[in-house]
Structure formats: structure tokens, C-alpha cells
Chains A and B, each alone.
Chain A
């Protein structure tokens, strides 16, 4: 008989407790080392003590790797993270890396971070200086918009959220009107509220807009307009009329071939030179048009992908029922094609939101731009890390929300139950 039998169902009673103890021991060692800077195995030679957790854990995982043990959780564990020696090692490494990286992260973000104070001098700890975000928060949200007028931005967004919120709870029939209002009327009310100039509201020029609110404004308008333009371009590119087809192809290929940063620069700097004297289009509007057309070209290709995925029979069935081109597309083709390409649409719109910081090249500053401005303030030098981590978090929350929404939409519209 072998002294060390292969782990099997017979010796499960002895091997499993020993195996788990060894794994536990190895994790405790790494945990103590990472969190409390203790070296429990210090009595061993230094090289051995360094690798000991790995060796213990490895042996432990070997001992518990019992095939068809009959214990459900043990089988699941073995199948998922302990199917062979190599996977056991990967599992150990992953756990160790996570254990090791938690304390420094925790320290930087919270334990050693500074929350209280009003200036850089209040940041005495080694961690992040969140005072920077706190002091500049107003600017990060509203840009250079006058403090006394910021209620207008708040109101505009609050009304938007309230209407969107209500529209989720009203009946299907009313919902239609809510959506029409949100898409065709509210954007202009909102913009009027923020820009002012009439109804007793003080005029605030668009150069003063900025921060997260500008990110939202640009994203919302660009999404709103690039979507229908993209759909029409996609249909145009598949049109049987050569003139429309070639115009669509030309448009799409032109905008897709140019970097966004170039487009923005052209729209802000070169475009006004071609305008007749005396005419003036606001810089923000020019930038918005540029971003919209740029993203519409991408949107068009995404939508076209969906159109091409539909079988020819769908077109023929719609035609045979007496539908013309527009009814066929609006009622039969687009609903199916758009549903197919929801992931692609979400991709494009996420890219759009994350492209907004590029407007810094024309001097407009949304969230990331304001952070860039704040970190170069002489009183707040060296705050880039805090600023960009904050920007990253905010963008991640926005984009994750959009991504979740697109997944829900996909599920809701699925008819293959």
C-alpha cells in the first residue's frame, strides 16, 4: 500500500479536513502579512517562509481534489477553481494578489485619505486628498457657470429626471406622449433654461458652461441627434437610388476616416473662417454638430449590420401586404434590426460619452477638462491622481448604468421565450 494514497472517496474523511486546514493556513499567512505586516512563518529560513503559503495551499488543494466525492459543494469547488494542479496554482495566485492589493487600496482611498479641510495644506496623510474634490466639486459639476445661477442647471436636470421617472410608471398610452415630449420639446426648454437670455433669466454664454453638466448636455444632444441621422444613413446606404446611396457612403466614409479631435478642431477653428462676415454660430453648437455627425457615421454602420442580418423574406412579406418603403422600414425592418444591434448601439453611445472630454481641444471643459484645469492651479498642484480617479469613477457609473439599461432593453424586447 502506498504511504500517501491518491485522494479518493475512501479517505475523504481524513484528507478533506487536512486539505482545508492547509489552505486556510496559507491564506491566514498571506492575510496577516498583507493587513498586519506580520510574518507568521518567520522562524523558517527566509526563502522557505516566502513560498510556504503557496506550497501549503498547493498541497491542500491537491488533497481536496477528490473526483465524484458526492459532496455537492466540494465537487463544485473542484470543478470551478481546482480542476488540476495548474488551475489550483492560478486560484492561489489570484487569491494572494487580491489579498495583497486590498490593504494599499484601502489605505489610499479611505484609511490614510484626507477628507476634512479647505486647502492642500490640510492633506497631511499619505493617502488620497479628497479635500481637492470637495473644494472643487462645484466647478467639476457646473464648470464656470455663475454660482448664483446654478439652480437653473439643477432645475433643468431635476425636471428631466422627474419626467423620466414618471414615464416609467404611467400606462403605455401616456408613455408615448411622455417620450415625444422628452425627445422633441424638453431638450429645447432645458437648453433655454440653462442659457437664459429671456423670461428674466440672465444670459450665460456657452463658454462658461462646463463640468459634469456639460458632459451630460453634450452626450444627451449628440445621442438624441446621432441616432436618427445614423438610421437614415444606414437606410440610405442600402437604397436602390444611386444618388442617395453614394451620398450616404461618401458621408459615412468621410466622417469615419477622420479622428474626432481633428473634426472638433476644424469645427471650432476653421469652420468660422468659411462663414460669411457677421454670421456667428455658437462654438458649443458647432462642436455638438461635429460630434453628432461623427458618431452618426458609426451608428449608421452599426444599424446597417442589423439591416443586413434580416432575411429577405421579411422585406417580401411586408411588401406583399401592401406596405410602402417607409411603412415597411418603420414597422417591420427597423424594429427587428435595431433590436439585433442593441449591443452595438450601446457600444457606440458609450464611446460617444467617453469621447466628450476631447472637447478640451476647442477650449470647452466638461468633467475631465475641469479636473485638468484644477490640477494645474498653483495652489493644488499634484492632485492629478485624485482628480482622474474621481473622473474615472464618475464615467464608470454613467457608462455602467447605460450598459445595464441596454441589457435590460435587450431582455425586455426579446420575443424568443
Chain B
């Protein structure tokens, strides 16, 4: 099967500190991968490298057949195909929810305004906040904002979605509404890489689990195996602490 994301021997340093050590990872289309690990283990950095919000110093990252490197020509094209959802939502506060969703399709994909709005409304409907379309981000709850952020990413019709701890900044009762949207998205066949501590979600949708510690992939296993019979001691310790 062809791979949509390939990481070969990826290394990254922040100054002298090595955050990623010899990362190898392959993701097939429509695969859902959940990455977990203690904080500071490099899991956020890893997925941020995939749309080059962080630059890696060694190794190769190939996304949808294009290698990410210094030549910036293609980087915007890749980013347009890779949706990203952030921990802090990062909606644009000066624009309404609808404008948040139509801005990039209009200016990057050059969709006509009317068409962009149709796409936006259908995506907002999908995350069930179409009735909030004309409000500003500041007027929405955290859960609604995060769902709007997911809709905004979906409006670019990405091939891959990256989630960087999407529920970590939310109140407990809002986590479910966001996870429901993500489950729905997973069931729709999206390729997803999710950094999260929500193990219930992971069990429900993930094809593979990746456990990272100190910049290394410690364990990569099918979800069922990962939870029932983890191989590494470190994974066992981690799971015993968060389950």
C-alpha cells in the first residue's frame, strides 16, 4: 500500500537539546494514528514537523509524495493539504466563524466566495455549530471554538488532519462534544494523526498507537495489542499511570 506520510530517520534539535531522535514512521491513507507519551517527549514537535511548522535538521519527511525541505516553493501547497487543529484553537478573533472558515479557501484555493461559503456552512453543520456562523470566536465556548477550528481546517478539504492535543485546553464537559466530532471524522475515512491523552478515544478509533518518550518512538503497535500487551516497560508504566 502506498504511504501518504513517510518519516525516515528524522532528527531535530532545539539548540543543543535533541527533541526527535531517529524517528521512522509510515502512515497509509485513511489510517488513524494516536500518539501518546509524557509531556516533553516530542510528540507535538513530531506532528508539527509534518506540516513544517517546525523544521527538522536531519532525515527525510515525505508528505503525499513531496519531500519537505528548505525549498519553500511547495510548502504552502503541502500545508493546504494538511489540516491542523491546535490545543489553543487559534481561531482568528477579528473574523466571524464563517469568515474564519472561508478565508483560506478564498485566498489560497481561489474558490469563489459563494462556493467557499457553501463549503463552510456544510462543514459547520457537520460539527454542529452552523447556527453560530455569524458570531465571533470570543462569543463561543471553548468546545464550540475547537469545533469551529476543526471545521476551518476541513474547509481546505485536507487529505490529512493533524490534531495537537485538541482537548487539553477544554473544560471536562466540553471534551466529549469535540471528541464526537473527531470520531465522526475518523469514521468518514480521514487520515488522522492525533496527539492526545484521551485513551477512550484512542481505543475507539485508532488503527495504531505510538508511544513516545524522550524524543524516541518507544512502541508502535496495533491499538488492541498496545493496550492489552504492551512490550516495553516504559509503556506499561505510562499506561498504568493514566488508565
Q: How far is the CB of B15 from chain A (nearest CB, A)?
A: 17
Q: How many residue pairs, one in A and one in B, have C-beta atoms under 8 Å apart?
A: 74
**Contact yes or no, A317 B91, CB < 8 A:** yes
Query: Does A319 sit within 8 A of B, measured CB to CB?
Result: yes
Q: Which residue of A is nearest B107, CB measured?
A: A327
A45 interfacial by beta-carbon distance below 8 Å: no
- The chain B residue with its CB closest to the CB of A336 is B94
B238: Cβ under 8 A from any A Cβ? no
Closest 8 CB pairs of A and B: A322-B80, A317-B90, A321-B104, A313-B90, A320-B84, A415-B136, A322-B79, A322-B108
Q: Which residues of B contact A320 (CB under 8 A)?
A: 51, 53, 79, 82-84, 86, 153
Supplied contacts A317-B84, A332-B103, A336-B92, 6 more A-B pairs, CB within 8 Å: A320-B82, A320-B86, A321-B153, A331-B107, A335-B94, A417-B139
Interface residues on B, range: 20 to 34
Point out residues on A near B: beta carbons under 8 Å: 311, 313-314, 316-324, 327, 331-332, 335-336, 339, 413, 415-417
Convert B119-139 into 0s and 1s, putting 1 for each residue whose CB lies closer than 8 angstroms to a CB of A: 000000000000000001011
Given A313-B86, A327-B107, A415-B138, residue A319 in contact with residue B93 (CB < 8 A): no
Any A CB within 8 A of the CB of B43: no
Q: Please tell me if the beta carbons of B94 and A415 are within 8 angstroms of each other in the complex.
A: yes
Q: Which of A324, A331, A336 touches B93 (beta carbons < 8 Å)?
A: A336
Interface residues of B in 35-85 (CB under 8 A from A): 51, 53, 76-77, 79-84
What are 24 inter-chain pairs, A to B, with CB distance below 8 A? Answer: A311-B88, A311-B90, A313-B90, A317-B90, A318-B92, A320-B79, A320-B83, A321-B108, A321-B152, A321-B153, A321-B156, A322-B77, A322-B81, A323-B104, A323-B107, A323-B108, A331-B103, A332-B92, A332-B103, A335-B94, A336-B93, A415-B95, A415-B138, A416-B136
Cβ A327 vs Cβ B108 within 8 A: yes
Contact of A319 among B53, B77, B88 (CB under 8 A): B53
Partner of A322 from B53, B76, B92 at Cβ < 8 Å = B76
Q: Tell me which residues across on chain A come within 8 A of B80, comparing CB atoms.
A: 321-322
Q: What are the residues of chain A within 8 A of B95 when measuring CB–CB? A: 415
Q: Is the CB of B107 within 8 A of A317?
A: no
- Give A320 to B92 CA distance when docked, in angstroms: 13
B152 proximity list for chain A (CB < 8 A):
321
- How far is B86's CA from A369's CA once the two chains are assembled, in angstroms? 58
A336 contacts across to B, CB distance below 8 A:
92-94
Q: Which residues of B contact A314 (CB under 8 A)?
A: 90, 92
Interface string of B146-167 (1 = CB under 8 A from A): 0001001100100000000000
A332 to B53, CA, bound (A): 17
Is there contact, CB below 8 Å, between B93 and A317? no
A324 to B149, CA, bound (A): 19
Kindly report which residue of chain A lies nearest to residue B137, judged by CB atoms: A415
Known: A317-B90, A317-B92, A336-B93. A322 touches B104 (CB 8 A): yes
Closest to B86 in A: A313
Report how far A316 CA is from B81 CA in the complex, Å.
Answer: 15
Q: Which residues of A contact B84 (CB under 8 A)?
A: 316-317, 320
Which chain B residues border A317 with CB–CB below 8 Å?
84, 86, 90-92, 149
A339 to chain B, nearest CB (A): 7
Question: CB within 8 A of A313: which of B88, B103, B108, B138?
Answer: B88
Min Cβ gap B107→A in Å is: 5
Query: Which residues of chain B are near A416, meaning CB under 8 Å?
Result: 93, 136, 138
Query: CB-CB < 8 A to A313: which residues of B?
Result: 86, 88, 90
Closest to B138 in A: A416
With a CB–CB cut-off of 8 A, which chain A residues contact B88?
311, 313
How far does the Cβ of B120 sit from chain A's closest Cβ, in whole Å? 13
**For residue A316, which residue of chain B has the nearest CB?**
B53
| A79 CB to nearest chain B CB (Å) | 33
Q: How far is the CA of A330 from the CA of B201 in the complex (A)?
A: 38
Nearest A-chain residue to B83, judged by Cβ: A320
Question: Which residues of chain A have C-beta atoms less than 8 A from B103's C-beta?
Answer: 321, 331-332
A324 with B94, Cβ < 8 A, contacts A313-B86, A331-B107, A417-B139 known: no
> How many Å lie between the Cα of A314 and that of B95 in the bound state?
12
Q: Which residues of B lie under 8 Å from residue A323 when comparing CB positions?
A: 76, 104, 107-108
A336 CA to B90 CA in the complex, in Å?
13
Is A319 a contact partner of B138 (Cβ separation < 8 A)? no
Q: Closest CB-CB distance, B63 to chain A, in whole Å? A: 13
Nearest CB of chain B from residue A176's CB, rounded to whole Å: 14
**Chain A residues within an 8 Å CB radius of B86:** 313, 316-317, 320
B residues within 8 A CB of A335?
Answer: 94
A residues less than 8 Å from B53 (CB atoms): 316, 319-320
Rounded to whole angstroms, the CA-CA distance of A416 and B109 in the bound complex is 29
Q: How far is the CA of A314 from the CA of B83 in the complex (A)?
A: 15
Q: List, in ascending order, chain A residues with CB within 8 A of B90's CB.
A: 311, 313-314, 316-317
User: Chain B contacts of A319 at CB under 8 A?
Assistant: 51, 53, 79
